[in-house]
Chains A and B, each alone.
Chain A
Amino acid sequence: MTLPVSNFGIYVHVPFCTVRCGYCDFNTYTPDELQRADAAETWAESLVKEITYSLEQIEKPQILKSIFFGGGTPSLLSPEILKKIFTKVSLEFNLAKDIEITLEANPDTITKEIVKTWIDLGINRISIGMQSSDSAVLKTLDRTHNPENVKKAVNILQAAGLSNFSLDLIYGTPGESLTSWEQTVTTAIELEPPHISAYALTIEPGTALYRKTKLQQIPPVSADDQADKYLLLDKILSEHNLPWYEISNWAQPGFECQHNLNYWNNQNWWGYGPGAHSHIAGVRWWNVKHPFSYSKKLTEEKNAIEEKEILSTAQINLERVMLALRLKSSDLKEIVPNATLINWLREGYLKEDLNNFELTPKGRLLLDTLVNQLT
């Protein structure tokens, strides 16, 4: 089977962290949990195998438009391992001239030396896990970094000429005041980032924070508080030439994350690594989650697929609507019936701008409701 692809990007899942954060339910593992010194090497070898496998499955894409290293903590990868992966990728794919290569980084791990390696390999976008400038909030989240290090990290990047970076923030952590959040946003703005991501904290079952809320050691997150913070954030960012382009992402025009836009535009990508998700030509699938079973499965069966999903028409429609509504660039007239548009305008979920419709912050906050009205 060879699947034809266009607008193709790849995602590389790096399932390693030094510690597990209290809110995190991502597929990541600490050295304590893995108890194996060569875990990263084994992972990289398997990843190379998966790339080989993927090329048997898909029509060789003309051009690779983006690469995204997500995690986990990709900035923990050693130069050797990174090189190994890059060698394989450049051997197998045609990289677009303007390819966007993003790596997620913990501010503590950003040093002059590693940044030089990244630049040499072609990494041209860094997504910095800043989360908050308030050390009390960081403590609740179990983030280990010193808030001062964000500024240092940005300085290192800028000095090295790597000026395309994103600051990734979390809002609505229990105990975070509106003032504290405003301070976080201001601190971020002062670093003049061309891109900001901000996600409302969700407390997922199985995390330390979930247990603590259940035990009433910390209060649950409040949707109202998060709504207030979203509105504040959106206001400040748009005043600083960082308009929204996706419900949780703001960027100076031209600095939108191409890789993530690819997801939201329902395009094609292959996700490599444990638990990574792929979507090619209408089929979604995901890999087995644990790094060890990932390696084992690739060795034994050549692939690491846990489950495939062939979507029904209703599901395809739901996904199309749900993704499109997230993006400012979507043409809402194509998705939303006229009567609903009028209704949304009246309710203040939508505003009309030069015959174009755009969701207001109020509408963006009620996105699930809006999606439900359309499907």
Chain B
Amino acid sequence: MKCLEEGSLIKRVNYKSTGAIKNRMEQQTHITLPKGSIEKTTTTLNIGPTHPATHGVFQNIMEVDGERVVSTEQTVGYIHRAFEKLAERRPLYQITPITDRLNYCSSPINNMGWHITCERFLKLDLPKRVDYLRVIIMELARISDHLICNSIVGVDTGAYTGFLYVMQYRELIYEIYEEVCGSRLTTNIGRIGGFERNFTNTAFTKLEKFLNEYPKVLKEFENLFARNRIFMERTKGTGGISAERAMNYGFTGPNLRAAGVDYDVRVQQPYSSYQDFDFKVPVGTTGDNYDRFLVRNAEMYESISIIKQAYQKIQEFKGTDAEVYHADVPEYYLPKKEDVYTKMEALIWHFKIIMGEIDLPKGQIYSAVEGGNGELGFYLISDGGRTPFRLHFRRPCFIYYQAFEELIKGGMLSDAVVTMSSLNLIAGELDA
């Protein structure tokens, strides 16, 4: 028997077999394992970048002791698209499609957040009807966002039915988007100053259908999970975080509210006339997966109530007020196509906007909206050019994902999967 080489840890067995197998065994004597890998009692497990248990592009390098998670390192950046650099060379209206691609489960909120940032920066006043129309779209987007998150938590705990059942109502929401802006997922909805077109009757009919049918479906969905023994055992007490730690980690949105902090941008810094609406801010206590589920669930009911109030307010507009869907800001709002062909002034504005010939004022602004996952902030710095000098997106996902290790440490591997989906991590928002 040949002497083992220094550093080779696999012992050669005197294998009584012939030919090919023996040759392969011979070759294996030269494999060198990393130092310490035999003595080690934990296993390194690589989950992702693509994995059925992660909904999106996430990589986690986990150390597991049996099924317990000892530590993990999250790797992000697989779909980084340099949005902040791109935005430095685009006029304001061309940045809207970029914001679609942040949290693509609720892109209308991102679009509106960006328009509101621009309007605050340019000091534009919007008619109330536009604000209310925006509120309808944003709350629909919030419902579709929470709907996906909660039903995916169901999928990861073994209940696929709820997911498929509520999906048809996300479809209905997307049909409303389609009616308003022509697209479904990456919506590019609205313009600086309002909407590009008025809501059609079909849009309102679909909205009424949604308001009539969805609450019942949501109740059924809730019944499927909220007091379900299996679901509760899987989610209660897993992935929990205290309010102090959650704040220190920069949590916002439903995840922070589940930990017991009633911070909601819609209440604290109202935008788009949210102060005109009456709604509750649901909070949890333990910040675990179950509380996150319940908070999102309760928020969907609040969103339905907000949409109803907004729809009622819209119906109260009479005469010409009932036709208003954008502010009168010719410097930023594209004129109608038929006017461009027939009127000199409209042609001039059209040309100036499209060529990006309108200089921005100097200054900086931080403006935030309540996105599906929390405070979606836009930090805009202008040096008086036609494009932002610097634009930074405060992406809630990116900030709270760093707490993932603390949330799952010491728990079971299968709970880590549920924790990941109940945080509602969206890869597009993580990587910008």
A and B held together in a complex: no
Seen from chain B, the residues whose Cβ lies within 8 Å of a Cβ on chain A are: none
Seen from chain A, the residues whose Cβ lies within 8 Å of a Cβ on chain B are: none
